[in-house]
Each structure stands twice: as structure tokens, then as C-alpha cells.
Amino acid sequence: MKRLMPFALILAALGLAPHAAAQGILLPRDVRIHPFPHPWPAPHPLRVKSLTVNTHIQGQVATTRVSQIFINDLNFVVDGIYFYPLPEDATFVEFATWDGNKKLRGEVLEKQEALNRYLAIVRSTRDPGLLEYAGANLFQARVFPVPAFGEKRVEFVYSQILKADHGLVSYLYPLQSGTRANPQSIGNVTLTVDIESDQGIKTVYSPTHSVETRREGDRRARLSYEAGNILPDRNFQLFYSLSDADFGLSLITYREAAEDGYFMILLSPKVEQSEAAILPKDILFVLDTSGSMQDRGKLEKALSALRFGIRSLRSGDRFNIVTFSTESRRFREELVPAADDTRSAALQFIDRQNATGGTNIFDALKEALSCFRAGDRPRYLVFLTDGLPTVGETDPGRILREVSSANNLKVRFFTFGVGYDVNTFLLDQLAARNSGVSDYVTPDEDLEVKLSNFFAKVANPVMTGLQLDFGALAPHDVFPRQLPDLFRGSQITVLGRYSVSGNFPISLRGVVRGDARTLRYQSNEFPSTATRNDFLPRLWAMRKVGYLLEQIRTSGENQELKDEIIRLAKKYGFVTPYTSYLAADEKDLITRRGPFPHPLNLQMSPGFGGSATPISTSAAREAVHASIALQAMKSADTEAPQSTRTDMMHVGSKTFALKGGTWIDTAYDEKSGLPIVDLLFGSEAMLQALVADRQLAAYAALGKNVVVVHKGKVYRIHA
């Protein structure tokens, strides 16, 4: 019999799916009571004070270093067992704990022994949370001593070769997994990923977390994420593509058997573009200088951002400025080249502005549009206001019709509402009807920073008038309906659904420096089954709901659109203006006033907010936040945070509602006629099924009573 070392490591291979793993947990044993060797621990994992993850990816080889600090809140020393399931193709590099400043290492022992011990823990504790580890390549170590009211640092290093699918490389760190076994907040989470490659790095995309991305040329990128006092609600996932092409196209798919599939396309230009590749643009800045802009220093911040926008213009660009209050004022009669002398004169013009008078939006926009001339340049109008139209034409419907009619050169509108005293319907529709985007700067945001970031983004267009041609694939429900322009350092995300399967070419058409270009991407696999990217269905559903809400806002509410929004929200589990997080029965649907207010009360249709009449302060605030939420849903490419409610849970692509003590898959229909598999919780039959099916184990980890539709069957796990 092999002797266990004091800090022994056990590595088990239990058939983990390539993308799965779990966060390390430390289960304590009381050395005050039990002599060595100790019995298996009670199910009370130690709290994690901090988690630091540093990953370095060279090409497609990732080395991940995990450092966790555990806190022993007990008044006695404990002996612990550490668990960490490895990715299937990972190579163990190092494990160590610290006793003061002394680093202690362990050794690898037999796989079957780790499996037997793990299953013994599951049988004895009957803790559903531990089922997350079923089917995993289980790494195990003894950690001793963990001092009373003290801390223990554990460090773990592994490497893996990341898989590429049609040039798109994926990396996953199991930030969420393990939280059901240890449902305690982590004091601090810090995660960094450094990517280096001999090829150009195109797409850098996380569907799960809002990360800060820093690009160092085309071949280096760093992503960072930090949060405090959180219970992670999802794993960290990252995609990046490698290509030296000028314009990269990456494809991600998800499809369950017998259902239409979901796809995401990421379009990315080179980071390092030559001067010749940057398109010269025409841009006109329209700035509200009415008296209300004096409040809270709004005008000075807007002027500072405008100065940044003028300085960021390139030598081939043309520009003009229109400021307005009761009347409009032009910097120049027409667009002028962005030369040193005109930029200097524009800065002097900006310095002379002050806040006074009313808000004549209609005349300002008409005057701004009259400055543009026909040609092959991209044309942008940046419009900023903090108020409602109060002078001249004040009817929002007439303003929209007249402005859209006058925009025969197809100028893209980017509208910014400052504060809450704005007509969100007017600003949103100005952008939507003129192929642009609306945004809002709330009183607690920095106007100068937000506008400066926008100017930096649109400074360098590289391709305009984009169109995707899918040929025989014939996808449906593709969003956005109209593609935006492509800028250097940015990327465009397209989501849709497909019915057929196979390999289909995709063409990207657009205009580059006045010349029409067609880029063809020949090898794009749309599979009949692909279940790795389970975030895609929810992202697609959010995009579609955003589109449907926009239709309601433009044309008014109808029952068909409303029913479809409710159906999607119920199936995929997210908030809309018509639903809260949904219970399983239709009678449990309720309208929620909160982060996403009800559309009919808050300027979501022409009948409401269709005049210049001010609304109440609280309603105005909700209208702005409703518009922000709608824009976020229309452009969603990152999963929304999990609900804080305890009766709703997402696992992979599925949503579960808690009813009568049972977690029920929202896709479950008792009239479906699907075969039923009954599994008694904790039974040998259940454990064998979970070890054989990693995804089923993730569903079972919800609790002792679960109903889930999986692989054409209904699994009923019950205590």
C-alpha cells in the first residue's frame, strides 16, 4: 500500500469535457478531536479571502497560476483536503502551500484512489454542491495545518494546449464552478490574461465578463478583470483569433440536437493599420449651449471633450461645429479640412462658448445637415443635448420626420443625452432612424471621459457600408439588422440562428477608401450539434428582445410582439419591461418596475413622451435608464449578471425556476411525451450517471430535487 505524504497530491482522470473544470475548495477536518489519519470532513468549506489568477498564453499554450488564500474562522487548527478539477488536456506543473514563509510541495499519486475518496465524500456528506466535481479530472491535496482564526495560502500551476476552431482559440477559467459547494463570497478576485502570438491577434472577446483590454500592437494583448466581495455567477471565458489578414472573421456556434442552431460572428480589423488604410471622414459636432448646460459644470466638461475630439481629427478629415441655444451658430459655413490652422481656430471658437437661452433642436439639426456634401467619405453627426426642444419646432414626431427626410446623404447620427431632462424617445429615434447609436450620460458619470472615449473610437474608420452575405445558409433572426461601420481597434458582433448544417462560405462587402470590396471567407462550419458555447442562446435572445422593444417603441405596442418578448424572457430567464424573473407558471408573470421600467409609462411609444412637455423627475430618471437598458440589450455581447433572486438560476444555456422545493427547467413541458429517467439523490445509479455525463452533473448540483430536459429525456432527480 502506497504511503500518503503529509502534503500528498492526487490526480484523477474522470473524463472531463475539454472546457470544464472547477474552482478549488478546501474542506476542513478537526485535528483537535481526531488522531491522524482523520475521517473525511464535514461539508463546510473554508472561506476564500482572495483569488488571484495569472494566465500567460503563448500562441496556443496557456500556463495558469492560481493563488488562493483561505480563512479558517474556527477557533481550532484544522487539517484540510483541497480539491481542484483540471481540464482534460491540462498538465500538472506545481502545487504548494505556505507555512509562514516556508514553501511546501507535494507529489502525484494514483488516480483511482482520488476517485474513490471523492465519491466517499459525496456519499457521506450528501451535499449537492459537490456534484459539480462529478466527472472531473480531480486534483486533490492534503493541506495542514490551517491555524485557528488564521489563513492558508495555496498555489497551483497547470498548463494546457488551447484548441482552435477555424482560427478561433478559446480559454476558460472556472471562476463560478465550486460556488455551490462553497456558497461564500470571495473577498477579492483578480484575473489577468496575457496573450502573445507570432501571428496577428484579431478578435479578443469575453462573452462572460466586462474586461479591460489593452492591445500592444497586433501580436500582444492583455485582459484584466477585478471584483471585490463577490460570489462568482459564471466562469470566465475568452476567445481570440489569430490571423494576419486585414479583416478577420471568426465564427462561434451552439446547437442542440433537433433544434435550430445559434451563431455569433466577430468582425475585427488589424490593430496596426497603415495611414493609407484609415478612411478620411466628414464629422460635424452639434453641441447644446442652452442655459441649462451651465448646471453642474456640464458645458465645461462637454467643451473639454469637444476639444479632445478636434485634436483627434486626422489630416485628411473634414469637420465643422454647430452650437445652439435659441439660435444656431456655425464655426464655418461648410466643412473644412482638419489642418493645423483650422483646428487652432476651432479651439478658439470652443473657448468663446457660454450657456444661455432656450433649446432649438430642430433648427440646429437642419443647419448641421446642410453642411454635408455628397462623396464617398463616411459621414457622422455627433449631437449632444441636456434638454427638451423648447424653441422653434417642439413636436418630436415632426422633428423626426423632417430630419430623416432631410438626411438624404445617409449621415450616421450619434446622440448623447446629458442628465435626466431629455426626451429619450426623440434621441433614441434620431439615432435609430439615421443608422447610428444613442447614449446617455447620467449625473454620476463623467461627461468628459465618456465623450472622449467615443471620439477616440470613431477617429479611425477602416470600412463602411458593411453587409454580410451568407449564401445558401439562409440564417434567420440576425442582429443587428444593419451593420455599423468598422473602426480600427474595434470589432462588430453579429448574432443569429440557422437551420441547415454544413460548411458555408460567407462574404463581407463594404467600402474602403471609396472602393467597393468583397472579402470571402470560405471555411465556416455550422454543425448539426455543438454544445460548448452555451452562452450564445441567451445573448441571441437578448438581442432579439431589444429589437422587438425597438419596434414597439417606434410603432406602438401589439399583442404579438408582447407575447414573443414574454416567451423569450421566460425561456432564457432575463428581465424585460413586461416581465420580472419568471416562475414556471404563466400566472406568475408580473410586470416589474425597476432597472427596466414599463415601456408604456416611460416614453417607449410615440403616444408617451411624444411632446416637449416635461415629465416628473422620477419618470425622467426611469426613462433614461430604460433607454440605456434597451441600447444594452440591442447590442448585447456579454451575458448579463445572474439574478440575485434565490428562485431563479442559470446553468449553461438553461434556466431553472424553484417551485415547491424543486428546480424545474423552464424548457420542461409535462405534455412533451419525452422518456423520463428517475434518479434517487445519492444513489449509486445517480453517481454513475453523473460521472458519465459532466453536463448532467452540473444540473444535479442545483439541489436534491431537479427536473431537467437533457439529450431528449426528462431527468427527475429527487430526494
Per-residue pLDDT at 28 exceeds 90:
no
Q: Strand 379-385 and strand 282-288: pairing? A: parallel
94 band by pLDDT with thresholds 50, 70 and 90: confident
Note the pLDDT of residue 125: 63
Per-residue pLDDT at 587 exceeds 50:
no
Interval 182-191: pLDDT, tens: 777 888 999 9
Tell whether omega for the bond before 37 is within 30 degrees of 0, i.e. cis.
Answer: yes
Percent of the residues in the chain that have a pLDDT greater than 70, as a whole number = 82
Per-residue pLDDT at 351 exceeds 90:
yes
Contact between 87 and 18 under an 8 Å Cβ cutoff? The reply is yes
Between 6 and 369, residue with greater pLDDT: 369
Distance CA 270, CA 278 (A): 11
Amino acid letter, 289: T
Contact between 632 and 638 under an 8 Å Cβ cutoff? The reply is no
Between 225 and 120, residue with greater pLDDT: 225
Interval 135-171: pLDDT, tens: 556 677 777 778 888 898 888 898 998 887 766 888 9
1 band by pLDDT with thresholds 50, 70 and 90: very low
The count of other CB atoms within 10 Å of the CB of residue 114 is 22
Percent of the residues in the chain that have a pLDDT greater than 90, as a whole number = 34
Considering only the C-alpha atoms of the chain, give the largest distance between any 2 of them, rounded to a whole number of Å: 92
Note the pLDDT of residue 611: 46
Note the pLDDT of residue 612: 47
Per-residue pLDDT at 642 exceeds 70:
no
Between 103 and 592, residue with greater pLDDT: 103
Per-residue pLDDT at 11 exceeds 80:
no
Nearest by Cα to 437 from 375, 387, 480: 480
pTM of structure: 0.77
Nearest by Cα to 536 from 472, 470, 469, 477: 477
Interval 261-317: pLDDT, tens: 999 999 888 766 666 678 899 999 999 999 988 887 888 888 988 999 999 998 899
Q: Which three cell numbers stand for residue 480?
A: 443587428
Interval 479-501: pLDDT, tens: 999 999 988 878 899 999 999 99
Per-residue pLDDT at 19 exceeds 50:
no
Burial class (CB in 10 A: 0-12, 13-18, 19+), 639: buried
Note the pLDDT of residue 592: 35
Per-residue pLDDT at 475 exceeds 50:
yes
Contact between 271 and 489 under an 8 Å Cβ cutoff? The reply is yes
Contact between 246 and 268 under an 8 Å Cβ cutoff? The reply is no
Which residue carries 483511482 as its cell? 112
Per-residue pLDDT at 13 exceeds 70:
no
Distance CA 663, CA 678 (A): 15
Note the pLDDT of residue 711: 87
Interval 395-410: pLDDT, tens: 998 999 999 999 999 9
